[in-house]
């Protein structure tokens, strides 16, 4: 059964703040976006989760990872709340992962529209 999941992703590349869309570590959150509340959170490479994207099951839970102020500031750089529809999901080291290959982007949400 497909459900909706939420993550912060770039509007053009769909990459997150730790890794690019090919799974290569960028560490953008540690360098360029160090205003984010989780700037010190390490997400070390693990071959067991290649092809998966970190996500949350709700917007409220996403706000535990990124504050509304973080998201407001990230939007200026093209990073938005991105809603995915996914059926292939797993938990890893305390967070939810969705399969990149089988997940579908349903919409991007501006924080001001919430």
Whether residue 22 is predicted with pLDDT greater than 90 in this model: the reply is: no
Number of structural domains the chain divides into: 1
Residue 21: per-residue pLDDT: 80
- DSSP-based three-state secondary structure for 49: helix
Whether residue 36 is predicted with pLDDT greater than 90 in this model: the reply is: yes
Query: In this predicted model, what pLDDT tens digit does every residue of 37-95 receive, in sequence order?
Result: 999 999 988 888 999 999 999 999 999 999 999 999 999 999 999 999 999 999 998 88
Domain extent, residue 33, equals 3-113
State how far the Cα of 88 lies from the Cα of 25, in Å rounded to an integer: 23
CA dihedral 106, 109, 113, 114 (to 10 degrees): 90
Cα dist. 5→8, 25, 31, 63, 92 in Å?
A: 11, 22, 26, 13, 15
> At CA 82, angle to CA 33 and CA 64, rounded to 5?
60
């Amino acid at each position: 059964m497909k459900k909706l999941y939420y993550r912060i992703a770039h509007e053009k590349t769909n990459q997150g703040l730790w890794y690019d869309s090919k799974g290569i570590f960028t560490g953008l959150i540690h360098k360029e976006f160090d205003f984010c509340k989780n700037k010190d959170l390490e997400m070390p490479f693990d071959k067991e989760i290649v092809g998966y994207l970190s996500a949350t099951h709700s917007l409220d839970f996403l706000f535990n990872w990124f504050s509304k102020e973080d998201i407001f500031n990230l939007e200026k750089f093209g990073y938005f709340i991105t809603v995915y529809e996914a059926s292939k999901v797993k938990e890893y080291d305390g967070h939810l992962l969705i399969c990149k290959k089988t997940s579908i982007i349903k919409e991007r949400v501006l924080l001001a529209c919430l």
